[in-house]
Amino acid sequence: MTAIRLIARPMLASMFVVGGIDAVTNASAKVPKAEKVTEHVPEVAARFAPGLPVPTDPATLVRINGAVQVVAGLALATGRVPRLSALALAASLAPTTYAGHAFWEEKDKAAKTAQRIQFFKNISMMGGLLLAGVDTEGRPGVAWRARRAGRDVRREAHQLAKQARLEARVAKAHLT
């Protein structure tokens, strides 16, 4: 791991660990804002994962989101499954941002400005998480390795076909 990754991952993860702990310990304070998202969770879960037991209590859903942020934040900070943890954080940040920083609903100009700043801060964090989610640390990704394997197979098949034609000509020459 490079020095930049060693420093940047904990920096990026710090907000999620702190915010996740706050969500787990103070879920009831976050419920009023979260309800506009949590009310849709059971129907979305039923559509994408039928049969999965999904809690409907908003405080429980806030705690689950906070726990995901803590666990994935710690995993990202320590370099454990960094791509998966970054993508999990990005996924948990989307509903948090929508519910917590809906600046378009604010009437007070100062509150609207503060919420807009927080909204775009979260969007920026999501961009960083998406970049971290696709970072292969200089090693070839799965797509590159698949393309490379395909090229290698085609080259090998071409060589085998060429060799088979040559051997067929040699066999034909011996027979005639």
Query: What are the tens digits of pLDDT across the range 80-119?
Result: 999 999 999 999 999 999 998 999 999 999 999 999 999 9
The answer on 24 and 68 residing in a single domain is yes
The answer on 176 and 95 residing in a single domain is no
User: Distance between CA atoms of 67 and 21, rounded to whole angstroms?
Assistant: 7
The answer on 122 and 49 residing in a single domain is yes
Which long-range contacts does 87-94 make (Cβ < 8 Å, 24+ apart)? Answer: 87/129, 87/130, 87/133, 89/13, 89/16, 89/129, 90/126, 90/129, 90/130, 90/133, 92/16, 92/65, 92/68, 93/16, 93/122, 93/125, 93/126, 93/129, 94/126
**Taking a C-beta distance cutoff of 8 angstroms, is the pair 79, 9 a contact?**
yes
The answer on 94 and 8 residing in a single domain is yes
Higher pLDDT among residues 136 and 161, named by residue: 161
The answer on 94 and 27 residing in a single domain is yes
Mean pLDDT for the chain overall: 91
Cα torsion 29, 33, 37, 38 to 10°: value is 30
Q: With bands split at pLDDT 50, 70 and 90, how would you rate the model's confidence at 13?
A: very high
The answer on 161 and 109 residing in a single domain is no
Structural domain boundaries enclosing 156: 140-176
* Residue position matching structure tokens 């609207």: 112
Q: How many domains does the chain have?
A: 2
Question: Is the pLDDT assigned to residue 1 strictly greater than 70?
Answer: no
Return the pLDDT at 94. Answer: 93
Average pLDDT over residues 73-83: 94
The answer on 172 and 101 residing in a single domain is no
